[in-house]
Structure 1
Amino acid sequence: MSNVKKRLFKEKLAKAAMQLSGMLITGCLFFIVGTILYKGLPYLSWEMISQTPQGGFYIGKDGGIFNAILGSLYLATVSTALATLIGIPISIYVHMYVKSGSFLERACKLLFDVLFGIPSIVYGAIAFSIMVWIGIRASLLGGIITITLLTIPIVVRTIDELLKTIPIDLKHVTFSLGSTRWETAKMFLRYIKPGIFTAVLLAFGRAIGDVAGVLLTTGFSDNLPKYIDEPAATLPLAIFFQLSSPIPEVQGRAYASALVLTFIILTIVICTHLLASKQQKHKI
């Protein structure tokens, strides 16, 4: 077999492997969504979405998951906003003010890589220990602190990868025109603005779907979250508690809750892509 034929064979083999991987991932996605729809849609109703749990909800009686929906939105929105406000300046500092290739830059990136991979239950355990030490009970505030710490590495590493896509010549040109590092950083943020929406989306998806981190710090309540120092329900915990029930109707409600959570994330994904596309069209 000639070298040309070998290269063509390897190319066809790689293409087939990529197509097979894509079909496998797509099939898994449709299987998961299909299972949620099949098992959860019959139990989904407006009463379930708009009501709070009544007495005996977790044994099959009346009520809904509105408290968990509201708690998840509060928790994910505030945590993502805080993680973005903290993560972007960190990424800018490491990329613009720390010398490229220095020990400090490598150490910072290694640190956030490690933090990115730590399981959320570890964040929950550490946050719980701190809360006990300073006297904070399980509450929405505890959950926000935990999930903010969990999502900061996601924002930092995503923004860092986006900054690497900026041509180095652009940085040199801005400095040659007399721009300061901060002025250059602002221009870079404008350049990667569509990608920032992706970072926010990743952080929000991790925040709203996490269960281990909030299990110890947020607590659970059947009431609507009114104050930040009160326990609050979240959709992942509501799904977990309902799936733990031996009653088929309650298990069906768990799949309906998962359907609501999937719809929220899907809505955020669509809105983010629309905003990113709009920004890409008007990017200078």
Structure 2
Amino acid sequence: MSNVKKRLFKEKVAKVCMQLAGITITGSLFFIVGTILYKGAPYLTWEMISETPKGGFYIGKDGGILNAILGSLYLATVSTALATAIGVPISIYLNVYVKAGSFLERFSKLLFDVLFGIPSIVYGAIAFSLMVWMGIRASLLGGIITITLLTIPIVVRTIDELLKTVPVDLKNITFSLGATQWETAKMFLRYIKPGIFTAILLAFGRAIGDVAGVLLTTGFSDNLPKYIDEPSATLPLAIFFQLSSPIPEVQGRAYASALILTFIILIIVICTHLLASRQQKHKI
């Protein structure tokens, strides 16, 4: 077999593998969403969305999961905002102010790679230790601390990858024109602005869907979250507790809760893509 035929054969094999991977991933997505719709849609009612749990909700009686919906939104929104406010400056510092290829840059990025892969339950244990040391009980504040720590590496590594797409010549030109490092950083932010929304989406999706981290730190309550130092329900925990029930109706409500969570993330995805598309038109 000639070299040309070998290359063509390898290309066909690679193409088939990519097609199979795409079909598998797409099929898995449709299977998951279809299962949630099939099992959860019959139990999805306005009462479930607009009311808090009544007595005996988790054994099949009346009530809803409004407390968990609001708790998840509060937790994910504040945590994502804090992670973005902390993570973006870190990425800018490592890519603009720190010398490229230096030990500090390589060590910092390796550290965030490791932090990115640590399971959320470890973050929950660390945050729980911090809470005990600071005298903070299981509450919405504890969950915010945990999820912020969890999502900072996501934001940092995503922004870092985006900054790699900035042409090197663009950075050299700005410095040659006498721009300061801060002015260069602002130019970089303008260049990657559409991608920042993607980083925020990834952080928000991880924040609102995490269960292991908040299990130790957020607690659970059937009441609406009013104060940051009170326990708060979250949708993942509500799903977990309902799926643990042997009652079929309660298990159906768990799938309905998962459907609500999926719908919230879908809205965030659509809004993020709209914002990113709008910003792309003004990209320099």
Find the counterpart in structure 2 of residue 36 from structure 1: 36
1:186 counterpart = 2:177: no
Find the counterpart in structure 1 of residue 19 from structure 2: 19
Find the counterpart in structure 1 of residue 170 from structure 2: 170
- Partner SS, residue 55 of structure 1: coil
Q: CA deviation at 1:277?
A: 0.8
Partners of 1:55 and 1:259 lie apart in 2 by 23
The answer for unaligned runs of 5 or more in structure 1 is none
1:139 counterpart = 2:139: yes
Runs of 4+ deviating beyond 4 Å: none
**TM superposition score normalised by structure 1:** 0.99
Partners of 1:89 and 1:168 lie apart in 2 by 20
Q: CA deviation at 1:14?
A: 0.7
Find the counterpart in structure 2 of residue 224 from structure 1: 224
Which deviates the most, 60-69 or 8-17?
8-17
Partners of 2:8 and 2:187 lie apart in 1 by 44
- Percent of aligned pairs sharing the same letter: 88
Find the counterpart in structure 1 of residue 77 from structure 2: 77
How big is each residue's C-alpha offset from its partner over 1:237-281, in whole Å with a ceiling of 9 and x where there is no partner?
A: 000000000000000000000000000001101110111111111
Partners of 1:178 and 1:75 lie apart in 2 by 43
How big is each residue's C-alpha offset from its partner over 1:95-122, in whole Å with a ceiling of 9 and x where there is no partner?
A: 1111111111111001111111110000
The amino acid that maps onto 1:274 is L
Find the counterpart in structure 1 of residue 153 from structure 2: 153
- Partner SS, residue 19 of structure 1: helix
Q: CA deviation at 1:153?
A: 0.3
How big is each residue's C-alpha offset from its partner over 1:141-190, in whole Å with a ceiling of 9 and x where there is no partner?
A: 00001100000000000001111110000000000111000000001000
How big is each residue's C-alpha offset from its partner over 1:180-224, in whole Å with a ceiling of 9 and x where there is no partner?
A: 000000010000000000000000000000000000000000000
Q: CA deviation at 1:3?
A: 1.7
- RMSD, matched Cα: 0.6
The amino acid that maps onto 1:93 is Y
1:3 counterpart = 2:3: yes
- Partner SS, residue 228 of structure 1: coil
Partners of 2:242 and 2:193 lie apart in 1 by 40
**TM superposition score normalised by structure 2:** 0.99
Find the counterpart in structure 2 of residue 266 from structure 1: 266
- Partner SS, residue 138 of structure 2: coil
The residue correspondences of 1:40-119 to structure 2 (distance < 5 A) are 40-119=40-119
- Partner SS, residue 72 of structure 2: helix
